[in-house]
């Protein structure tokens, strides 16, 4: 398995409130997370960093090979623990009041994996030249689309498209969406913040991942560059995991 991780502040923002982490464990488990923080006075980057740190802490204690059900339990537990830590910090410090973050995370092993998410950071799977979205945005606009009140085209430019219906750390209790996925040689997983998906179409992302002349590192770089060229309105974070025969970690 191969891993590449990239994050860029973008062209507009003064602070990068995105955080990410990806690692290949000795057990053959690949672990990755992207968090996109929100909140005034730089509270967003505190929330996203806490999410990543807590997630990492829980996952680094994993030594065994896990079944699909065990992976689902573990990813939910890690995300809920992060929620607890962020909510507690926000409750005790006025400057962090109402801070929160999105989160999308993955645990992958040989033939199967799990995705856990809250908010509008997304996971996509690339298989045989086709890129499929695995997560469902927890946003007001997505609710309007699902109820038939607006079209997908209208959603793309809706003035309230960044309003989340669910976030990590803003409430004491939160629901995590967890799903199992198949994972076979040749597959690629893309985890990203909305700084990528608000700038690029799914076709543009698929075209980049399909380029055989680019290694995984170069594909991550290309995605960031395309988002910057399209305007770079937000922080942009990308994690790519490739189910390849050889194993390497890119930084």
CB atoms inside a 10 Å sphere around CB 9: 17
Among 219, 217, 195, 224, CA closest to 206: 219
pLDDT at 105 over 60: yes
Cα three-residue angle 107-113-118, rounded to 5 degrees: 60
What pLDDT does 65 receive? 82
Q: How confident is the model at residue 246 (pLDDT cuts 50, 70, 90)?
A: low
Predicted confidence (pLDDT) per residue in 181-222, tens digit: 999 999 999 999 999 999 999 999 999 999 999 999 999 999
Q: How confident is the model at residue 153 (pLDDT cuts 50, 70, 90)?
A: confident
pLDDT at 251 over 50: no
Question: How far apart (Å, rounded) are the C-alpha atoms in residues 54 and 133?
Answer: 26
What pLDDT does 64 receive? 78
Structural domain 2-241, CATH architecture: 4-Layer Sandwich (3.60)
Question: How far apart (Å, rounded) are the C-alpha atoms in residues 174 and 60?
Answer: 23
Burial class (CB in 10 A: 0-12, 13-18, 19+), 177: middle
Q: Using an 8 Å Cβ cutoff, are 52 and 60 in contact?
A: no
Mean pLDDT of the chain: 93
What pLDDT does 158 receive? 86
pLDDT at 126 over 50: yes
What pLDDT does 250 receive? 45
CB atoms inside a 10 Å sphere around CB 69: 10
Question: How far apart (Å, rounded) are the C-alpha atoms in residues 189 and 63?
Answer: 23
CB atoms inside a 10 Å sphere around CB 230: 16
What pTM was estimated for this model as a whole?
0.95
What pLDDT does 152 receive? 85
Q: Using an 8 Å Cβ cutoff, are 108 and 29 in contact?
A: yes
Predicted confidence (pLDDT) per residue in 60-104, tens digit: 888 778 899 999 999 999 999 999 999 999 999 999 998 999 999
């Amino acid at each position: 398995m191969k891993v590449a991780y990239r994050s860029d502040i973008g062209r507009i923002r003064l602070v990068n409130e995105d955080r990410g982490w990806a690692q290949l464990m000795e057990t053959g488990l690949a672990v990755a997370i992207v968090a996109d923080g929100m909140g005034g006075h730089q509270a967003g980057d505190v929330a996203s960093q806490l999410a990543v740190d807590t997630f990492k802490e829980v996952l680094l204690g994993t030594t065994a090979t896990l079944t699909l059900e065990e992976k689902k339990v573990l990813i939910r537990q890690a995300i809920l623990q992060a929620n607890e830590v962020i909510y507690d910090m926000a409750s005790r410090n006025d400057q962090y009041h109402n801070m929160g973050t999105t989160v999308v995370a993955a645990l992958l092993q040989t033939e199967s994996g799990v995705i856990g998410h809250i908010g509008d950071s997304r996971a996509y799977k690339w298989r045989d030249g086709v890129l499929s979205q695995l997560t469902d945005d927890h946003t007001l606009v997505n609710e309007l689309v699902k109820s038939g009140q607006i079209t997908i085209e209208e959603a793309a430019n809706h003035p309230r498209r960044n309003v989340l219906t669910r976030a990590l750390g803003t409430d004491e209790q939160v629901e995590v969406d967890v799903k199992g996925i198949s994972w076979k040689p040749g597959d690629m997983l893309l985890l990203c913040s909305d700084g990528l998906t608000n700038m690029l179409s799914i076709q543009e992302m698929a075209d980049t991942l399909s380029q055989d002349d680019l290694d995984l590192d170069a594909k991550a770089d290309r995605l960031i560059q395309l988002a910057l060229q399209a305007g770079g309105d937000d922080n942009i974070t990308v994690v790519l995991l490739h189910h390849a025969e050889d194993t390497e970690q890119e930084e």
